[in-house]
Amino acid sequence: MINIDLIRKDREIVKENIKNKFQDKKLPLVDEVYELDIKCREAKLQGDNLRQSKKELSNKIGLLIREDKEEAEKVKQEVSKITEEITLLEAKEQEYSEKIKGMMLKIPNIIDKSVPIGKDDTENVEIEKFGEPFVPNFEIPYHADILEKLNGLDKLSAGRTSGNGFYYLLGNIARLHSAMLSYARDFMINKGFTYCIPPFMIRSDVVTGVMSFEEMDNMMYKIENEDLYLIGTSEHSMIGRFKDQIVKENELPITLTSYSPCFRKEVGAHGIEERGIYRVHQFEKQEMIVLCKPEESMDWYDKMWKYTVEFFRSLDVPVRTLECCSGDLADLKVKSCDVEAWSPRQQKYFEVGSCSILGDAQARRLGIRTKNDDGTYFVHTLNNTVLATPRGLIGVIENNYNEDGSINVPLALRPYMGGIEVIK
């Protein structure tokens, strides 16, 4: 959520930002907020003036009762009338404030000047490649076929128990999956991040604080008859931890890495990838979250995506970074890039992580502030995927696949696999 002062001072900046995100249908919101804000402030000013008059008149009543009871009674009636007017104005102010907040939640955050302008993810821009993408001189089967031959995947049974979009991982493949998550945890701890396991369900006021309405509708599972949602990523509950808090400035930056299962409604595009474990309703994730001063946020953004690149390169997976264009940015994001892993089977890259800087948008929605000698101000928040698996598992399997159907276990994961070097 942007600062309403920006709409008060320069509506055109906000409108231009909406146009750059190709969300022209939201343009009328800017003028509507502007007009409602004027009415809201007028109601507040009138109320403040009446409250002052009421106070002055109330102070007179005590004296008048002793000197002129009839006049005192008239003043009492006037005070009563003012009280009624104040009640009406307060109701108007509340009504305007709620309407303004609802509209402000729909107006996208101001994107960074460095973000390329484009309509959707087809116009994202490649930044840099890390590691040499290769295609072996033998065929790499579809990842689900590899896993099934290794007795590591059972989607048929998961279909019976849970439906489409679920899976069983078994044996050494399940162990490899867990090894990657354990390694991701320790990788981030070694970078100085504090490890955390958060709640896996959050209330609606936290959901609306950390994401846009469109994302919530497409992603979140609602718990029936409860004000609770299953998290789609641990970032949601991790940022929500600081709701309505004033963080000590000398404790910034706060750097956390969290593990959680994640639950998402949307399975995604139909096709061959659907039958595997690329798009699923349930997965596990190691995330990194940073709360920092505004002037430090861009530096942290660059550090965070580089950590994900380093993580996958340590698992022998070539990756590239992709700058998300304006039309591909969620409404709360200032800037974002994807980390994509090389698929030698498909001979293309696919997303395995996403790093985002959200400015003070989440902090403003959730009331997360810090304080210095000049007063309080909103912190900046960032989040980035260290590892989301089983998607990350696919990248490791394909890039470490042997012609005989076995999989080499990357050196970094062998201590978590009891020393196993090859899964046969």
Q: How does strand 369-372 pair with strand 246-248? A: parallel
Residue 140 lies in a domain: yes
Whole-number Cα distances in Å, 216 to 185, 244, 285, 331 = 27, 21, 19, 12
Instruction: Judge if 194 and 294 occupy the same domain.
Output: yes
One domain for residues 240 and 282 = yes
**Domain check: are 406 and 280 in the same one?**
yes
- What is the tens place of the pLDDT at every residue in 216-268? 777 889 999 999 999 999 999 999 999 999 999 999 999 999 999 999 886 45
Give residue 267's pLDDT.
46
The whole-angstrom separation of Cα 379 and Cα 369 is 6
Do residue 229 and residue 342 come from a single domain?
A: yes
164 touches 145 (CB < 8 A): no
Structural domain contains residue 389: yes
* 296/394 same-domain check: yes
The answer on pLDDT for 290 being more than 50 is yes
Residues 60 and 146 in one domain: no
Of 104, 138, 153, the one marking the end of a domain is 104
Q: What is the CATH number of the domain that holds 51?
A: 1.10.287.40
Read off the tokens for 404.
Answer: 């005989």
Q: Is residue 111 part of a domain?
A: no
Return the pLDDT at 269.
Answer: 45
Q: What is the pLDDT of residue 67?
A: 64
Which of the pair, 72 or 146, is modelled with greater confidence? 146
**Distances 281 to 89, 223, 408 between C-alpha atoms, Å:** 48, 15, 28
* Domain shared by 372 and 407, yes or no: yes
Residue 48 lies in a domain: yes
Spatial separation of the C-alpha atoms in residues 386 and 284, rounded to whole Å? 11
Q: What is the pLDDT of residue 270?
A: 46
Helix H or strand E segment including 375: strand 375-378
Identify the pLDDT of residue 63.
63
What CATH number does residue 321 fall under? Answer: 3.30.930.10
Q: Which of 271-275, 301-305, 349-353, 377-381 has the lowest mean pLDDT?
A: 271-275
Nearest partner of 340 among 186, 129, 174, 169, judged by Cα: 129
Model confidence at 109: pLDDT above 50:
yes
Position 95 pLDDT exceeds 60: yes
Query: 72 and 125 share a domain?
Result: no
In a domain, 112, yes or no: no
Q: 114 lies in a domain? A: no
Token pair for residue 190? 């070694």
Within a domain: 266: yes
Which token pair is 43?
């109601």
CB-count exposure of residue 10 (10 Å: 0-12, 13-18, 19+): exposed
Domain assignment present for residue 178? The answer is yes
Calculate the average pLDDT of the chain: 91
Please determine, for residue 273, whether its predicted confidence score (pLDDT) is greater than 60: no
Which pLDDT does position 212 carry in this prediction? 72
Of 104, 136, 170, the one marking the end of a domain is: 104
pLDDT at 68: 64
Q: What is the pLDDT of residues 331-365, one digit of tens each?
A: 999 999 999 999 999 999 999 999 999 999 999 99
Q: Are residues 70 and 216 in the same domain?
A: no
> Quick one: pLDDT at residue 142?
93
**For residue range 148-203, what is the model confidence (pLDDT) as tens digits?**
999 999 999 998 998 888 999 999 999 999 999 999 999 999 999 999 999 999 99
Q: Identify the domain boundary among 78, 104, 130.
A: 104
Mean pLDDT for 120-132 is 95
Quick one: 338 and 260 in the same domain? yes
Structure confidence by residue, pLDDT tens digits, 32-86? 999 999 999 999 999 889 888 888 877 776 666 666 667 767 777 888 888 888 9
Residues 413 and 283 in one domain: yes
| pLDDT mean over 17-45 | 95
**Cβ atoms 197, 222 nearer than 8 A:** no
Q: Which domain holds residue 51?
A: 4-104
**53 and 175 within one domain:** no
Domain count, the chain: 2
Q: What is the pTM of this model?
A: 0.89
CA gap 240, 222 in Å, rounded: 17
